[in-house]
Amino acid sequence: MKEITPKERGYQMVNGYAKPFSFVYEDSVVVNTEKLIDSQPVTNFLIKIEYPIHKGMHWILTDAKYSFNGSMPDDIDWLPINQAKKLMVETLKLFKTKQFLFIFLFTWNKTKFLNRLLLSYNETILKGFEGLKRIQGKKQGIFIKPEYQTPIAYEVNYLCKFFLKEVGIEENVATNFAKIISHVIEYDNAYRLYIMDIMSRVSKKNLMDNPLKEIDRIAKLMVKYPQDIYDKFNSIKRILKILLIIPKYKKAFHKTIELMNIEKLQYTESDRYWAKEKGIITCID
């Protein structure tokens, strides 16, 4: 019997890994026909990849009730993604210090201050993404076209960019920051599933009517999460509570929530299935 090729199964081999076809990426991919390597064991169970528009890539795996919707990062993908996460964690720690809060609250032009901070973050991370393409002289795609992202990554990209532009952040800075954050969510499946888990308990109406109260309610549910996940979400909560006392930021937040399609941020049946399979601790009853 003739062996089915990767191309017939909807994927290509890049640097030894099963990867989506080049058309899903904004940047180039050089196809490499090396054999599979052990660091991507999911490939051994991969039947095919499908590409429905605006629903995320569907990885069809043997013995799985539902397709896995999203991205399956390899070791090379993780290099810039982890860099983006680590730098974000350190930045969040900075936001928590009394010195930073004092400087920020008493800075006359807060937006200009944030613009410089985000610009510095973007430049550092984008250099890492650019370096990824040159590993061993081969190019590998990293940025996924919006129509092939998971719905939650697409929505986060849209909402983050809208909010930042609304408060006066420069368009290119807002665009790049939203793009980086959305790709962290796209590639980090654990983060994405935890965000979807908590958003499945969020009330859009409550966020509109009394955002601080709703944020506090959700934070109490998060105590069930692993400590590192809870700490990251708790840091974001503190930042939001600071920003929401400033009228311009509160108004921008309200407009952003008004535009939010909350269903794109919540579990689907397949996401709930994979959260259970991956041992994600849920706060949902």
Other Cβ atoms closer than 10 A to 12: 19
Task: Indicate the angle between helix axes 75-96 and 98-105, nearest 10 degrees.
Answer: 70
Sheet holding 46-50, edge to edge: 46-50, 58-61, 68-69
Same domain, 23 and 86: no
Domain that holds residue 202: 75-136+149-277
Residue 232 domain-assigned (yes or no): yes
Q: Give the phi and the psi of residue 48 in degrees, each rounded to 5.
A: -170, 170
Of the residues 69, 94, 110, the one at which a domain ends = 69
Same domain, 92 and 203: yes
d(CA 56, CA 224): 28
Which pLDDT tens digits describe the chain residue by residue (285 residues)?
566 777 888 888 776 778 888 889 887 555 444 444 444 445 558 889 999 999 999 999 988 999 999 998 887 788 888 889 888 888 877 777 777 777 776 777 888 888 998 999 999 998 877 766 555 445 567 889 999 999 999 999 999 999 999 999 999 999 999 999 999 999 999 889 999 999 999 999 999 999 989 998 988 888 888 888 888 888 888 888 888 888 999 999 999 999 999 999 999 999 999 998 888 877 655
Same domain, 157 and 176: yes
Q: How many domains does the chain have?
A: 2
- Give the angle subtended at the CA of 212 by the CAs of 210 and 215, to the nearest 5°: 110
Same domain, 180 and 48: no
Residue 200 domain-assigned (yes or no): yes
Of the residues 69, 86, 106, the one at which a domain ends = 69
d(CA 217, CA 220): 5
Q: Is the pTM value of this prediction over 0.85?
A: yes
Same domain, 52 and 85: no
Same domain, 114 and 21: no
Same domain, 260 and 174: yes
Same domain, 52 and 82: no
Same domain, 176 and 253: yes
Residue 89 domain-assigned (yes or no): yes
Token pair in block for residue 252 = 């921008």
Same domain, 110 and 11: no
Token pair in block for residue 192 = 């994405």
Same domain, 84 and 38: no
Same domain, 49 and 87: no
Residue 100 domain-assigned (yes or no): yes
At CB < 8 A and 24+ separation, what contacts does 34-39 make? 39/74, 39/75
Nearest to 157 by CA among 181, 139, 141: 181
CB burial of residue 97 (10 Å; 0-12, 13-18, 19+): exposed
Of the residues 69, 100, 117, the one at which a domain ends = 69
